[in-house]
Every structure is written in structure tokens, then in C-alpha cells.
Structure 1
Amino acid sequence: MRIDQLDVVLRARSGWEAVELGTALVRRHARAIWLPWVLLGLPVFAVVNALAWWADAFGLAWLLMWWLKPLFERLALYVISRGVFGDAPTPWQALRAQRHWGWSGFWGYLGWRRFSPLRALMLPVNLLEGSSPELRGARRRAIAGGAFGHAVLLTLTCMMFELVLVVGCIATIFMFIPFELLSDSWRAAWAMVRTDTPAWAKLGFNLACWLAAALIGPFHVGAGFGLYLNRRTEMEAWDVEIAFRRLRDRLQQAAPLLVLALVLGWPGGTLHAQQAHGVDELAAQDAHADTDPNADANADANADADADAEDEDAEAEDAADEPALTYDNDPANRPESVFGTASVDTAGFRQAVQRAYEDPLQSPTRTVVRWEPSRKDAADKDKKKAGDADADKGNARPKGPVLPAQIAEWVLWGLVGLLLLALVATAPRWLRWLRGTGTRRRAPPTAVVEDDIRVPDEVPPDAAARARTLWQQGRPRQALALLYRASVESMTERTQTALPPGATEAQCLRASRRMPDEADRTLFARIVRVWQYAAYAGRLPDDAEFDALASTLQQQFRWRA
């Protein structure tokens, strides 16, 4: 599964949070779910009820539609499972995909698993994972282990919602019956149901059951899919994996800069480079010595002299003390090792072997001298000096890198200093609590200022001038209310509509869309927004904004100056 392309935020959720996530996915893809559900369900409903009417078994039609409900749930699961990756199919694509998608693990839900209360949680296991039949049982048990209770309660809750919708549809009929005739109508309806229910009543009941299932079914599937996602997140740590993938992507982008910084800032980079350069020079000298015919004698003499002068080169001493392997001292060159007990003249063979040993390509033996820093000797010398200095105390303190320790000590002292400064700065707040006088005083409640807005019943023709007067008198809400009232009256005149008494701002905005001029619509939306900010949020415009708004309204709506 491409969890890095998921369109939801993965984290460890509780069971009911996972249910809410699934219902949110259903609301996001509502059109792609309910349209194919209705397009597929209406023909099936018509065919099933026609067969039931022909067989005079209307009572079994709703049961058959209920039994075929998993067929429609496949549609919702297909849309949600694609939409969670940002690839939501269209309604026609969802319908076409049902011909070949998910049939291998589905037939059990039209058979022995139809009564399972875990159907919404288990459908993704069978239809989305594509595991083999022998592994599905273990997989279902693992998924249901931590969500069994939530899945059962989810199924019962959806069943209750469907029951309430069906009862509500039936009760809606009696709401249109006058109250004085309600008891007689109820008795007549009950008698009709008990004795001989007409076909139209049975068809209406079946339609109500199907509509309730079509409305609640997608939410049932979506909530089960949310539980399934949450269980896989808990079991497989998807949220942690996504975090590590994002961290890897960020590190890959910054990898060249990190490598360059390490190369340039490594403390021993210069020393290692110099040592590598020295090793290359020694290797070049060794190669030159191999090509020089007198190099062996010179190398032996120099090796003896260096061995007498420098005892710390252990590798050179081992190489000098080890006897060279030649034809004479090699046990494998003895006649009995090669030819056994047979009497054979091996003079030619001896000469050939001797020439082979003399060939420098067959026995490339050479002496390599390496320069290495004598850190051990330097450490011993430091210990010796420290031991001489602390001879009276009888112990030697080894010298180590003290710079990091000093930096850490300075940081700790800096933190202590900051803590002391914070305590001194906040002393007026906490010192009185230590003294016992830290009683909290409740601030006196501020008086509520009520601004009674009075607008005349009839809007004056010079509304802008009156509004400016009210603004200068220090009554800004009155001024904005007058501008809003005059704008609403101008809008109704230009749209030729009548607003109901007490119309809200939203109703006025919807009515203003009928104005033919775009400038009029924009200006009316502006005055509505300014009035809402002032009336409900207490945000008043400044003098310049108010004067510009009044002038624009006066010019656009042709008020008298």
C-alpha cells in the first residue's frame, strides 16, 4: 500500500475518532458514493419489487433488498479506498469497476457472513488486501482484535438510525392529518395493516426501508474503513514510517551539503591528508626500488641499520627476521614430495623450479615502511609527567580532552544565571505568595454598555448626509445602521423584490444577486460586511473609510446630497 500518498493525517486515534475519520471521508466523496448507489439500487429495487408483486410476496421484497445490501456497500468502499489516496473515481468509473473488482473475497458476505456485526470492518480485509483465502482468517482476527467492540456498537447504531428513519417516514403521513381525525385515521390504518394491506402501502414501506439503508449505509462503510485504517496504523506503525520517509527525503536533499561540511570541518582531515601523501611517496619509492637491480642490497643494508637504530618498528623487524622462501628451504620442492618413491632424474625439474623462484613476478617480496603517529608513546609520556607531578598524592590523573567538559560547565553556569535572573525578575509575583499575602483579587465586573440603535421607519432621501451627522455626534452604530437600511431599500427597488419582515443579512445578499449591475452587487456586499463587523464583532471603520463608503453609496445608489 502506498502509505506515503495517503490524503489523511495518520496517527494513533481512539476508536470513535477513527469512526469520525471514516464519516468525514464519506462526506468528502458524497457525490461519487451516493450517485452510483442510487443508479444501481433503483433498478434492483424495481426488479425485486416487481417480482415480489408478481409472486404476491411483498413482505419478502424488503428482506431481499436488505440481504443484497453488501452489493451496494462495495461501491462506497471502492470510492473511499481510492479517494483516501487522492484518486477519487467518478460515479461512472465506480460503476464500471464493479464488474471485475473484489469478487474473490466477497461472496461470503452474501452467505454465511451476512449476519456478522463486523462486516464494515472486515470488508476492507477481503476486498482491498488481496491476501490468499487461507491467510484471510488470521488477518481478520488480527484486525478485529482491537476494534471488536467499536465495530459491533457501530453496526447497532446504524441499525437504530435506519429504524428511526423508517418510523419517521411512516409517522410523517399522520402529521398531515387533522388532530380531531387522528384517532380515527390511526384505527383505520391499523385495521388495514392487520387485515389486507394494499400493494401501494407495502411498496411505500419497502421504499422507506431502501431509502433509509441508502442514506445510512455509506456512513456505516466509511466508519468501518476508518476503524480498519486505525488498526493498521496501530499494528504496522504507519505514522512512524511516514515520518521516517519524510525525514529521509529531507536528508537526501541536504546530503551533499552535509558531506561537504564533514569533509571541510573534520578535525583530523589535514593530518590524514598529509599521512596519505607520505604513504603515496613511500609507495613510489618502493616501486622505484623494485626496478633498480642494486635496490635489494641497498634495502637490506638500510633495513639492518634502521633495525639497529629504531626498535619501535615491530613490523619491519618481523619482516627482517622471517626467512625468505626459496627453492632450497621449501619442503614442497623435495623429490619425494613431487615424484614419490619412483626413481626419476629430477635435474631438469630442479632447474625449472629454481628459475621460477628467481623470477620476480612469481615471488614479489618487498619491504614496506609505514609512518604511524606514536600516540601510545605520547600518552605514556603524559602519564609519566603527571605521575611525577602527583607523586606525593600517589595517583596520576590522566589528561584528556577538557574543552568539551569546559564548554558543558560554562553552559550549565549560564543556565543557572538565567534562572536566577528569571527569579529576580518575577519576584514581585511570587514573593507575596511566600509571605502569605497572595490573595487573588477579583477584578470588578465592567458595566455592560448597551447602544440602542434606532432607525427611522422611513429612510430619509439624504441618508448619506444624515449618517455623517450621526457619525460626527459619536453614534457610529446608528450611522452604519442607517446606511445599511438605505442600501437594502435601494437594492429592493432595483431588483423589484419584497423582503420578508425581519430579513437577515444572508437573505438580503441572496436577493442582491438579482441586481443587473456588478458594481451594485459588489457595493451592497461591502456595506453588509461593514455592518456585520460593526454589529456583531465591534469592529468599526475609521473616519476616512466611513466617509469613502458613504460617498460611494450616495453616488452609486443616487441618493440626494
Structure 2
Amino acid sequence: MRLEQMTVHLRARSAWEAIELGTALVRRHAAVIWKPWLLVTLPLFVAFNAAAWAIDAIWLAGLLMWWLKPAFDRIPLFVISRATFGAAPSLRETLAAQLRWGGKPLLHYLSWRRFGFARSLYLPIDLLEGVQGARPGDRRRVLGGAVYGNAVLLSLVCLHFEASLLFGGIALIFLFVPVESLPETLRAGWSLISSQPPWWAQVGFNGFAWLAVSVIEPFFVGAGFGLYLNRRTQIEAWDVEIAFRRLRARLAAAAAPFALALALLGPGLLPAHAQEPQSPAPAAAPAAAATPRKPIEPTLPRVFGEARVDERGFSKAVDRAYLDPLLSGKRRQVTWEKKDKTQPEPPGQQDLSWLSGVGALFAFIGEWGLWLLAGALVVLLLLTLRHWLPWMRGSLRRHKPQPAAVETEVLQLPDSLPDNVPAAARRLWAEGRPRHALALVYRASVESMAVRANVALPPGATESECLRASRRMPDGEDRSLFAGVVRVWQYAAYGQRLPTVDEFNALLSQLQQRFRWAA
């Protein structure tokens, strides 16, 4: 791992900043990610749908593509994990890596770990580090424990984005349907989907699902890799290590010319007596040679400057680091063992017999507490009787029976309209059959509207269909008058709201004048 060649500025980030970092990596290497993604997933999509169509189970192709998402996730993870360290793989390297990279951990993610919501966080741990040993879950717990909730929320957000793209693609089809035909098209589409969808509709649904996954899934994997990278930086201090490595490289580059110059010019600069052989020291050294040597001044302040060290904060950081189970081989385990009453009590133990009385009190409360609570509730109800009893008396009174629903007779109209529609309608109104009169007026108005608009209405056309057809009438007053007839008829037929006699006569007069009905 070449930390000094990383293309990312490492620092301790929050979880959401790390997610944004991962998505930025995906955007930077978009071409290298989506080319192998399409080359791998598109042939599998075609093959699965063809095989499922052959066995008449096209839904199985969509299920297989969804189930193999962890296998497809290796493509963006392989690209951004290499590109982060300055070695972006080529298209051929990425395709070749899918045959041999991460085979054993992938079996877990295609079986019992398939429904895990933190797959984007744990996939880099298992595929990039290859965690082995008796307790591989410790590594996942250390790296992912602090950001597990963020990984779950990331999965839910990406799932909602995929669903939005899927249903948005389906709704896009209806944008090309004319507004007049939209209700019928929606009704036909719903009946087509709910009863027995054809093969092309199922393949289209699988195609929209594949497109939604292809757009969102690389960002999902990149965001998880950002969380993983940020946790490694926080725990292992990658940013500090990179700073020290770059400092060492600068110091080594600056010290090389100085060392070369010292090697070439050093012999001429040294004093002459330093080159002469030294005679053995005398047996008795003079008193001046026994003076203590001057201590060497440390050079770190001259390199890094004077810095104040927070001893308390540093000690706390060290204590937190040693609490990590990966850094400490010690483990504390507490077990409960049954006490042996035959052994004598150790001397000097305090007398705790008074606790038996406290235990008996709690036992009494636990046994009779519900009865005491019920008795207190009854006493409270009796004390507040005058407040709630009048209200209870009012609520216990018998309510008046609801009136029976209004029964209306079935409308029976003749097959053909009478010659004098206004006279026939007034006669029905006078006989006490106003709904029959309004139905006759509505039917005559529909036929007059169809003639003036030059349209052919289907049998059993609804009021809304008649209103849409009336828009083709050239005269605006005719359209307004017909809309008023439809409104009066709907109030009477569905809302049991009949017009007055004057309103009915005025409406007939207007219809007779505008539609030129016979007098």
C-alpha cells in the first residue's frame, strides 16, 4: 500500500463528508467504472431475460439481476480502490479481476449476507483486506461499529433513489400520450399489468430496473468506500503517516547534496592534528581532563519549532487506543457461579441480615401491588364521582334512530326522445318525478351537443367524457349552457339536490332557445 501516492487529501472527516468523498471518487473515474459495468451486466441481462422467456418466467430474470448486485459491486470497488492509490486500472484489468478477485467473501454476500444493509461498508473490509482468522467479525466491528447507522441510512437512500428512477421511467411513457386519451390509457395499462402482463411489459420493467441499478449502484459502493477510508484514517492515522513520509522524502532530497559536498571537501576542512595517529593515553590523566562534557542540545526544536504538548489529552488518546481489542491481547470475562453454602463465611464480613426485611417489602409490593393499585383507582373514582357521572349519564342515553335511507326508483326513459322535450319534462316535473324530468333534459342536451360538436359518443359515455366532447362546439355559450346542464344533473343524481321550479323552468327556456328545441 503506497500511502504517499494517494490522490485523495486525507483528513479526519465526518461520516457524511466521507460519503460525499466516495461519490466524488466515482464521478472522477466515471468512464473507467461504467464501461466495464455495462460490458458485464448488459450481456447477463440479455441472457437472463432470454432464458427466462424460454421457460415463461421473465420475473426470474429481474430477481437474478437484483440478487447478483454484490458481484457487480466489485467493479466500482476495484476501480476506485486502485485509483485512490494512484494506479487507476485499465478496462482489461478490471474485467480480468472479476474472474479471480474476492471469490470467497462473495459467497457470503450472495447467501446469508445478501440482505445486510451495511454491505457498502463491509464489502471493502472483506475484499480489500481479506480478513481471516478465528474472529473476522472483530475487524468489521472496529471499522464499522461507529458508522453502521450511516451505512444503513445510505442503503435506504439509495434504495429510494432506485425506486424513484424505476417508477419515473415507467411514468415517462405516459408523457407521450395525449391528454384526451390519458384516463383510458391509464385504465388499460393498469388492467394490462394487474391481469396478465405480456412478455414485452415484463422485459420493459426489468430493463427500467437494470437502468436504475446501473445509475445508483456505483455511487452506493463509492460512498461505502468513502466511509471505510475515513475510518482507516481515524483509527490508523494515515494522514499523519503520509505527512511524515513526505517530510522524510524532502529531508532526504535536501541532505543528499550536503552529504556529497561534505565527503568531497571534508578532509581539507578538518584540522591537521585530527589526521595524526593518537598516542595512547597516559596512566594518570590530568585533572583538567576529568571535567564533565557539555550536554548536546536537542535538534528537534530547530526542525519542528517549539510546540506545547497537551500531556493530558495525549494520555487520554493513548488510553483510548489501548481499549481497542486489536491492540490489546487481554480480555476480561465475568461469569456467575453458584455459591456453596456449606463453606464458612470469610471473617470480617458485614452483617446484611437487615436486607431481608427490605426484600420482604419489595416482595409484598410485587405480589399485592396490582390489587393495591386497583383499590386506589376505585377510591379515586368514588371521590370524583360528581365530576364524571353526569357526563357518563349523557353518553349512556339512547340515541334517536337514524332515518332510513331515501329510496329512489329506477329511471325508465323511452328509447327515443319525444318531439316536444320541454313539454314532456314539465309534465314529468308536475307529476312529482323531478329526477325523470332532469334525466330527460340531460339526455336531450347530450344528443344536441353531439350534433353540434359533430362527435360520436360511445354507449354508456360518462359525464366527464361528454364534457370533453362538448369542447368541440364552436359557440362558447353553448359550451357553458351544456356544462350547467351536466352540473344540475349530477347534483340531482348523486347529491339528491334538486333545483327549484323557477330554476328548472329557466334552464328549459335557455335550452329551448339555444338548442332550438320544438315548442
Equivalent of 2:278 in 277, 280, 286? 280
1:240-279 alignment to 2 at 5 Å? 240-255=240-255
Between the aligned partners of 2:77 and 2:41, the Cα distance in structure 1 is 16
1:180-329 alignment to 2 at 5 Å? 180-255=180-255, 280-281=278-279, 283=281
| SS of equivalent to 1:71 | helix
Partner of 1:80: 80
Between the aligned partners of 1:170 and 1:192, the Cα distance in structure 2 is 14
| RMSD over aligned Cα atoms | 2.8
Partner of 1:177: 177
Q: 1:254 to 1:91 in 2, by over 3 A?
A: closer
Query: For 1:310-346, what per-residue CA distance to the aligned partner results, in whole angstroms no more than 9, with x for missing partners?
Result: xxxxxxxxxxxxxxxxxxxxxxxxxxxxxxxxxxxxx
Between the aligned partners of 2:28 and 2:256, the Cα distance in structure 1 is 42
1:135 CA drift (Å): 4.4
Q: More displaced, 88-97 or 7-16? A: 88-97
8 Å contact from structure 1 (residues 20, 223) kept in 2: yes
Query: For 1:203-225, what per-residue CA distance to the aligned partner results, in whole angstroms no more than 9, with x for missing partners?
Result: 00000001100111100011111
Between the aligned partners of 2:260 and 2:29, the Cα distance in structure 1 is 48
Amino acid at match of 2:18: A
Q: 1:369 to 1:256 in 2, by over 3 A?
A: farther
Partner of 2:285: 369
Amino acid at match of 2:105: G
Amino acid at match of 1:69: K
Q: 1:368 to 1:103 in 2, by over 3 A?
A: farther
Amino acid at match of 1:233: T
Between the aligned partners of 2:92 and 2:277, the Cα distance in structure 1 is 73
Query: For 1:127-172, what per-residue CA distance to the aligned partner results, in whole angstroms no more than 9, with x for missing partners?
Result: 1112315342111111112211211111111101100000100100
- Structure showing greater radius of gyration is 1
- Whether 1:137 aligns to 2:137 is yes
| SS of equivalent to 2:210 | helix
Between the aligned partners of 1:91 and 1:244, the Cα distance in structure 2 is 34
1:104 CA drift (Å): 2.4
8 Å contact from structure 1 (residues 49, 203) kept in 2: yes
Q: 1:373 to 1:130 in 2, by over 3 A?
A: same
- Whether 1:70 aligns to 2:70 is yes
Amino acid at match of 1:217: E
Between the aligned partners of 2:77 and 2:232, the Cα distance in structure 1 is 16
Partner of 1:90: 90
Amino acid at match of 1:61: A
Q: 1:43 to 1:374 in 2, by over 3 A?
A: closer
Query: For 1:325-377, what per-residue CA distance to the aligned partner results, in whole angstroms no more than 9, with x for missing partners?
Result: xxxxxxxxxxxxxxxxxxxxxxxxxxxxxxxxxxxxxxxxxx3535635658x
- Whether 1:156 aligns to 2:140 is no
Partner of 2:168: 168
Amino acid at match of 1:126: D
Q: 1:277 to 1:169 in 2, by over 3 A?
A: closer
- Whether 1:39 aligns to 2:43 is no
Between the aligned partners of 1:279 and 1:205, the Cα distance in structure 2 is 94
Partner of 1:117: 117
Between the aligned partners of 1:77 and 1:253, the Cα distance in structure 2 is 35
1:126 CA drift (Å): 0.9
| SS of equivalent to 2:99 | coil
1:68 CA drift (Å): 0.6
Between the aligned partners of 2:150 and 2:24, the Cα distance in structure 1 is 17
Q: 1:278 to 1:199 in 2, by over 3 A?
A: closer
1:254 CA drift (Å): 3.4
Between the aligned partners of 1:50 and 1:256, the Cα distance in structure 2 is 67
Aligned length: 287
1:279 CA drift (Å): 10
Q: More displaced, 119-128 or 250-259? A: 250-259
Between the aligned partners of 1:224 and 1:20, the Cα distance in structure 2 is 10
Amino acid at match of 1:280: Q
Question: Could you tell me the TM-score, scaled by structure 1's length?
Answer: 0.48
Between the aligned partners of 2:29 and 2:58, the Cα distance in structure 1 is 34
1:427-466 alignment to 2 at 5 Å? none
Q: 1:375 to 1:45 in 2, by over 3 A?
A: same
- Whether 1:20 aligns to 2:11 is no
| SS of equivalent to 1:116 | coil
Question: Could you tell me the TM-score, scaled by structure 2's length?
Answer: 0.52
Between the aligned partners of 2:81 and 2:151, the Cα distance in structure 1 is 18
Query: For 1:32-79, what per-residue CA distance to the aligned partner results, in whole angstroms no more than 9, with x for missing partners?
Result: 111111111111111211222122222232121100111111111111
Partner of 1:29: 29
Between the aligned partners of 1:95 and 1:274, the Cα distance in structure 2 is 69
8 Å contact from structure 1 (residues 31, 91) kept in 2: no
1:86 CA drift (Å): 1.7
Query: For 1:247-293, what per-residue CA distance to the aligned partner results, in whole angstroms no more than 9, with x for missing partners?
Result: 1222223346888999xxxxxxx9xx99989993453xx6xxxxxxx
Identical pairs, percent: 53
Amino acid at match of 1:198: P
Partner of 2:9: 9
Query: For 1:389-436, what per-residue CA distance to the aligned partner results, in whole angstroms no more than 9, with x for missing partners?
Result: xxxxxxxxxxxxxxxxxxxxxxxxxxxxxxxxxxxxxxxxxxxxxxxx
Query: For 1:451-486, what per-residue CA distance to the aligned partner results, in whole angstroms no more than 9, with x for missing partners?
Result: xxxxxxxxxxxxxxxxxxxxxxxxxxxxxxxxxxxx
8 Å contact from structure 1 (residues 73, 218) kept in 2: yes
Partner of 2:146: 146
Amino acid at match of 1:23: T
Partner of 2:448: none
Between the aligned partners of 2:127 and 2:186, the Cα distance in structure 1 is 47
Amino acid at match of 2:204: G
| SS of equivalent to 1:179 | coil
Between the aligned partners of 2:69 and 2:275, the Cα distance in structure 1 is 79
Between the aligned partners of 1:369 and 1:89, the Cα distance in structure 2 is 71
Between the aligned partners of 1:373 and 1:257, the Cα distance in structure 2 is 37
Between the aligned partners of 2:93 and 2:79, the Cα distance in structure 1 is 9
Query: For 1:190-215, what per-residue CA distance to the aligned partner results, in whole angstroms no more than 9, with x for missing partners?
Result: 11111111110000000000110011
Q: 1:90 to 1:275 in 2, by over 3 A?
A: closer
Amino acid at match of 1:372: A
1:230 CA drift (Å): 0.3
